[in-house]
Amino acid sequence: MMKKVLITVLTVIVLAGCTTRKELSYLNNIPAKEGESTFNTGVSVYKLQPSDIVYISIRTQTPEGGLEDLLTGQNPNIANQVQGEVSQYVTGYSIDPEGKLNLPIFGRIPASGRTIYELRDMLQEKTDSLFRHAYVEVRFLSYRFSVMGEVRVPGSYLNYSDQLNILEAISKAGGVTDYGNRKNVLVIRPVDNKTITYTVNLQDKNILESPAYFISPNDVIIVQETGRKVFSLNLPVYSLIISSIGTTLLLINYFK
């Protein structure tokens, strides 16, 4: 009787701690067959908000044939080589709490609520009214996102490309750990004066059509843990319980 009880308890513990191959995979319900699968993946266009930082350069040709940035008075090519991405981030232009940029020549201009391309077009129009053959370049610098929970390298990351999807974002954090629940990933997205949350399943192909598939600046991604992690953390307690049960059964058998 004692052996049967111990074998049953151990079997339950082993089964509870097992991980299947399917649980560790991504997008596992896409049919594994030849050919193509098409998904209507919508790319949301980010609109600038207060505290965002943008890089702005207005380039024009000097009488000597060189280039000059009208906002800084420097050669933009040389400045970029010296500064690099980090310095450009520090010396970029920040959108104030009222949603405006304070720029040389133009003064305070509205920026919040515009896309980066709309801001560029507006500045180009203003530039064309004052200068000839000047070229406006605008880049978004504060594309920061955070990945937390059951990933190998949690933290805050900067993105230097125009688009980033959730799979790429999690890859930057080292991927999901063996204890991560790929079916339960939370995306927290601040929009204007509110916060929107999405719960996505990394194993489901429908994530490709989710509004949370493409990451927006300031998103926070939280990969929840599975029940196996709770089980693993409590394993010493389970071992103690099993040991106590075994000792008790031995004593009962001995006194009988």
What are the pLDDT digits (tens) for 47-104? 999 989 998 988 887 666 667 777 776 655 554 544 555 665 667 899 999 999 999 8
Q: Are 66 and 60 in contact (CB under 8 A)?
A: no
Token pair 């504060």 is at which residue?
A: 142
CB atoms within 10 A of CB 14: 9
Residue 245: helix, strand or coil by DSSP? helix
Token pair 């192909």 is at which residue?
A: 205
What's the rounded Cα separation, in Å, for the pair 33 and 18?
29
Residue 100: helix, strand or coil by DSSP? strand
Helix %, strand %, coil % of the chain (to 5): 35, 25, 40
Q: Are 97 and 107 in contact (CB under 8 A)?
A: no
CB atoms within 10 A of CB 219: 22
CB atoms within 10 A of CB 63: 6
Amino acid occupying residue 154:
P
pLDDT at 203 over 70: yes
Residue 211's nearest CA partner among 38, 41, 47 is 41
Domains of the chain, earliest start first? 2-19+231-255 (no CATH), 22-29+143-228 (3.10.560.10), 53-140 (3.30.1950.10)
Confidence of residue 162 (pLDDT cuts 50, 70, 90): confident
**pLDDT, mean of residues 17-39:** 57
Which tokens go with 81?
């080589």
**pLDDT, mean of residues 129-133:** 86
Percent of the chain with pLDDT strictly greater than 70: 63
pLDDT score recorded for residue 81: 46
* Angle (CA) 196 47 195, round 5°: 15
DSSP letter assigned to residue 37:
-
- Is the pTM above the cut of 0.85? no
Question: What are the start-end ranges of the H helices in the chain?
Answer: 2-16, 76-90, 116-128, 166-172, 227-233, 235-255
pLDDT at 108 over 70: yes
What's the rounded Cα separation, in Å, for the pair 58 and 119?
13
Question: In terms of pLDDT, which residue wins out, 184 or 35?
Answer: 184
